[in-house]
Homo-oligomer: A and B are copies of this chain.
């Protein structure tokens, strides 16, 4: 027994396998990547050697040589709530069907971090990237184009964007909800929203509320706005802030279900009855919307379908590089007990 061909020291390489199997590295490589090019007998020898050595290919070397990673990256604002997790899960499942691995990073809603992570993903050789929302420094899109990395943007729909989008119309969805709210007699409106600054979903939804108010002839000033990060406790805190104001709003439209559930809990804690004293609405229709008490009026977003479509589109782009048309995901109003007439 020699000292170097067996399981001593270094982790085994392609060359080790080739040596053991008595073939060239090229043949081993072919066994791994396109087995049908190799005759049965040879393949068997190679497979035995692989097993015996416990060989695992070095991904980085492979990526370097092949200039392809079969990897797609996604950057989401946060992993901490179910909203993105669910869409991402089906995104991942769909990718998996095509043998593509998903790399996830979360930006904590910070554009600087996001930018850094985009660079990281690119330099890791992601064949494509999924981003949430369109709003970001144009330089990033240039960078991506220059690096030849296709991008799909999800969670928003904009057929005129310079990158394909898979998502819903945040403006119209929220406007539809606001229309309903206003039609039920609400006039003193309020909203708890993520900062619309760097967040086009939030700003579009806000626009939706304003548009609805305008149509109903309600002055803009009738909407009180509190910004909050997404979280149950944050929703509660935001509600308290709203209640401090001179006129108490009759309804609070929350940027998502998590905020809404927090707001409801806090309202109840403060002795208010939802919806009699104050109505609350959410956005997303995640599971807690249904089990909240009172159950949450919200906008249903088919996250899974969105994730799946985004994956398909990205795979197409990676493979064929032909342009893809943006896909509109339809949302729907779900009216439940947390909303009542004013």
Per-residue 0/1 for A3-33: is the Cβ within 8 Å of any B Cβ (1 yes, 0 no)? Answer: 0000100010000000000000000000000
Q: How far is the CA of A138 from the CA of B58 in the complex (A)?
A: 22
Q: How far is the CB of A10 from chain B (nearest CB, A)?
A: 9
Assess whether A288 is in contact with B125, with CB atoms less than 8 Å apart: no
Assess whether A11 is in contact with B148, with CB atoms less than 8 Å apart: yes
Interface SS of chain A = helix
Closest chain B residue, CB of each to CB of A146? B54
Q: How far is the CA of A59 from the CA of B123 in the complex (A)?
A: 5
Assess whether A61 is in contact with B58, with CB atoms less than 8 Å apart: no
A316 within 8 A of B: no
A22-70 contacts to B, CB under 8 A, are 54, 56-61, 63-64, 69
Closest chain B residue, CB of each to CB of A142? B54
Of A7, A56, A89, A143, the most chain B CB neighbours within 10 A belong to A56
Q: A11-B148, A120-B101, A287-B233 are in contact. Are A60 and B56 (CB under 8 A)?
A: no
Partner of A293, one of B63, B287, B293: B293
A324 within 8 A of B: no
Segment at the interface with B among A76-84, A170-178, A212-220: A76-84
> 17 more A-B contacts (CB under 8 A) besides A11-B146, A11-B148, A81-B85?
A54-B146, A56-B119, A56-B123, A56-B147, A60-B61, A60-B69, A64-B64, A79-B85, A79-B104, A80-B82, A80-B89, A82-B82, A92-B106, A233-B287, A261-B288, A261-B291, A268-B293
